Amino acid sequence: MKIGRRGFLSLGLGASAGLTLSPLPWKLLDDLSIWTQNWPWVPIPKDGKETYQQSVCTLCPGGCGITVRKIDERVVAVAGREDFPINQGRLCPLGLSGPQLLYTPVRVMSPMLKVDKGYRQISWERAMSLLTSKLRDLRADGQPEKLACLADSDQGTTPGLLKRFLTAFGSPNFFQTVSADDAWEVLTEKLSGAQFIPGYDLEETDYVMSLGCGLVEGWGSPLRTMRAHSLWKERGTQLVQIESRLSGTSAAADRWIAVKPGTEADLALGICRVLVENGIENSQPFREILRSRYATEQVAKKTGVSPSIIESLADDFKHAKRPLALCGGGQGRSPVASREFIAATVLNILAGNIDQPGGVYRNKKYDYLKWPQTELDTRARNGLKQGRLNASPEDLFQTIADSQTSPIEMLLVSGVNPCYSCLDTENVIQAVQKIPFVVSFSSYWDETAVNADLVLPNHSHLERYQDVAVYGGLTEPKMGLSVPVSRQLFDTSYTGDVVLGAAKTLGGTISNSFPWKNYETCLKSTLSGQWQALLKQGFISLPQPGRTPDKGSLRLRLPKIDAKEIQLEGNIKEYPLILISKSSMRLSSGAAGSPPFMIKAVEDTVLKKNMGLVDIHPQTAGKMGLGEDETALLTTPRGAAEVMIHLDEGTMPGMVVISQGLGHTAYGAYLADKGVNFNQLMGPVKDPLTGQNTAWGINAKLSKV
């Protein structure tokens, strides 16, 4: 039979009809849609046994308990631990991004030595021999004090070992980035003759007067504070936020009092005066000062807050059952200006809430590093006699920058990133580059590691044992134990083991001062009585001996309660605006750089493509002819940077606000070159009473580009 063209068509039509009435085309479509997604190069996570392991997060001083989900050996997710007292199941974006910090390509994967073009991977043997030979040379030259160390704190076994090493070696130059907790101790000593770290009973208060504290932006132990804030909403606890801008906390508060920048303490003292005038009994000698200098009209003029509001605030404070005043702007991590602390303390004294429920508890730092006395030889004694070079890291870097040759020969950096976090950053980087030999223990290629001569990476936060003491405003300070939830992925080593190894090699009294085989042994023996409890529960409460409700009186030592104001750097004529920073839970401003999860969540009013934005009132912007999203040059006495404008009516006219946590230059493509580093534009300003850096802003100018 001849099949012509029509026949062929008929064949085709028949085939189509037949196939269509069969499941073939439908099944094939469905199956192909699955097949196309399962090609070999499509990444599919391997299935495996699911387990949960508990630990404590060490990425910020908050000390939250975490529960880590693993599939076989892979860490898959981190969540907050329900049964942990500090955070009670909550966790912040940084903690949640833990797996990204474990697996990031930005990790330092082995000891790295700086060579002509970049860094070369070396073995631990070679790295240790290099380190110890340099240390030996320094000692042989009779200049052990030229070894310096910068650590994140002086609490904990690792910083303890570093500090002990420097002492045995003969160097007094152990520095720690001054945290709020350290600052309290200096302040409280000066003010009352006794050191304490304030613990705030946020859970029991019914009225909170906050002097600019970023309570929902990560204040104190961030998740604990946020939970307290939720409790306040449920119970009707009043929150009064005294802050010059409409921050998240201001928006969440029951009352937002917009004071002129830097005058929070003035308002607080003005309120104190009204309280004292209205008969709040107090036998302390500040009545006169309050009366003479903080009259309501004077305070109203200074702060821009009307007298009636000042009176009403005092009235509310007086009638509250358990009022509480809080200080420590932003996340409360850096030292508070003495003026602010005094003002808040006077308020709390007048409230009668010292060591009372809903008030301020006087917590003591609990030194659990009960190690035997460090052995010293003559060299060490001579070195230690020289005394510490400077009072603070900022001063140290300034001294180095100002000197022809660096007075420090060798710098060890552990747990901090000064080439990003220190103020006047450009200057600090230059100083670090002047130091002949810089050793970084960072787990990541951060700004300091890329300026170091030798990088000896510590295990990352999910791979190590670490003791973490948490004071941060907690009513009852705790100590948590971070445990390894992941095997060590790379050729990294405990910083503690590097110290112990170097000590052993150097021998003599140095070696004698370190009787432990390795870091884990040292940690176990240091925490011996508590080790089992720590492994089981993850935390213990730090003993606070001598705290009784009777000791509720806090006498202020100083006759003068109004310390001098912090003067902002910069001539007002040349720099007519005030630049301050804002913090956010979406960005980490500490040693851990924000991982991709967090950067992706940053609003486009903070970061647009790679440009950092600044908040400015439309009035102020209008005067300078600047509009939304326009580029401008932000200049301060310490530096300049290109920014984009964001018009925000919540920012007081005359102020510029920039975000913390941006402007990294290291940490890889996900973080580098995004936005501007606030620290680079800032310089330290010493508190007149404590000498610590309490700069809260700097004068600045914006100009068209």
Would you tell me which residues interact with another protein (CB under 8 A)? 1, 3, 6-7, 10-19, 21-25, 27-28, 30-32, 34-35, 38, 44-45, 50
Query: What is the smallest separation between the CB atom of 136 and another protein, expressed in angstroms?
Result: 52
Query: What is the smallest separation between the CB atom of 81 and another protein, expressed in angstroms?
Result: 15
Q: Count how many Cα atoms sit within 13 Å of the Cα of residue 60 in the half-sphere of its side chain.
A: 30
Q: Give residue 205's region: left, alpha or beta (phi > 0; psi -120 to 50).
A: beta
The CA-based angle 621-582-305, given to 5 degrees, is: 70
State CA 74 to chain mean position distance. Answer: 28
Query: What is the smallest separation between the CB atom of 77 and another protein, expressed in angstroms?
Result: 12
Query: What is the smallest separation between the CB atom of 292 and another protein, expressed in angstroms?
Result: 59
CB 187 within 8 A of CB 336: yes
Name the residue nearer to another protein (CB basis): 7 or 436.
7
3-state secondary structure of 200: strand
CB 69 within 8 A of CB 563: no
Query: What is the smallest separation between the CB atom of 256 and another protein, expressed in angstroms?
Result: 32
Name the residue nearer to another protein (CB basis): 23 or 559.
23
Name the residue nearer to another protein (CB basis): 28 or 140.
28
Name the residue nearer to another protein (CB basis): 35 or 559.
35
Can you read off the two tokens belonging to residue 621?
């912007």
Please give the single-letter amino acid code of residue 555. R
Can you read off the two tokens belonging to residue 270?
């003005």
Can you read off the two tokens belonging to residue 462?
């999910």
Residue 93: how many other CB atoms lie within 10 Å: 17
User: Which ranges of 435-491 does DSSP label H, i.e. alpha helix?
Assistant: none
Name the residue nearer to another protein (CB basis): 80 or 156.
80
Name the residue nearer to another protein (CB basis): 29 or 125.
29
Please give the single-letter amino acid code of residue 14. G
Cα gap 116→575, rounded to integer Å:
42
Name the residue nearer to another protein (CB basis): 7 or 357.
7
Query: What is the smallest separation between the CB atom of 259 and another protein, expressed in angstroms?
Result: 41
Name the residue nearer to another protein (CB basis): 25 or 142.
25
Query: What is the smallest separation between the CB atom of 68 and another protein, expressed in angstroms?
Result: 15
Query: What is the smallest separation between the CB atom of 82 and another protein, expressed in angstroms?
Result: 13
Name the residue nearer to another protein (CB basis): 1 or 372.
1
Name the residue nearer to another protein (CB basis): 10 or 378.
10
Residue 350, H or E segment: helix 338-351
The CA-based angle 466-467-471, given to 5 degrees, is: 135
CB 147 within 8 A of CB 171: yes
CB burial class (10 A; 0-12, 13-18, 19+) of residue 382? middle
Name the residue nearer to another protein (CB basis): 67 or 677.
67
**What single-letter DSSP state applies at residue 259?**
P
Can you read off the two tokens belonging to residue 85?
């007292």
CB 413 within 8 A of CB 150: yes
Query: What is the smallest separation between the CB atom of 41 and another protein, expressed in angstroms?
Result: 15
Query: What is the smallest separation between the CB atom of 83 and another protein, expressed in angstroms?
Result: 14
Cα gap 327→343, rounded to integer Å:
9
Name the residue nearer to another protein (CB basis): 48 or 515.
48
Can you read off the two tokens belonging to residue 45?
């996570």
Query: What is the smallest separation between the CB atom of 79 and another protein, expressed in angstroms?
Result: 14
Instruction: Report CA dihedral (323, 327, 329, 334) to the nearest 10 degrees.
Output: -150
Q: Angle, to 10 degrees, between the axis of helix 264-277 and the axis of helix 307-319?
A: 70
Query: What is the smallest separation between the CB atom of 335 and another protein, expressed in angstroms?
Result: 43
**Nearest residue to 642 (alpha-carbon basis) of 630, 655, 654:** 630
CB 74 within 8 A of CB 91: no
Cα gap 141→149, rounded to integer Å:
19
**Nearest residue to 364 (alpha-carbon basis) of 541, 561, 558, 550:** 541
Can you read off the two tokens belonging to residue 41?
């190069």
Name the residue nearer to another protein (CB basis): 47 or 125.
47
280 phi and psi, to 5 degrees? -65, 120
Query: What is the smallest separation between the CB atom of 25 and another protein, expressed in angstroms?
Result: 8
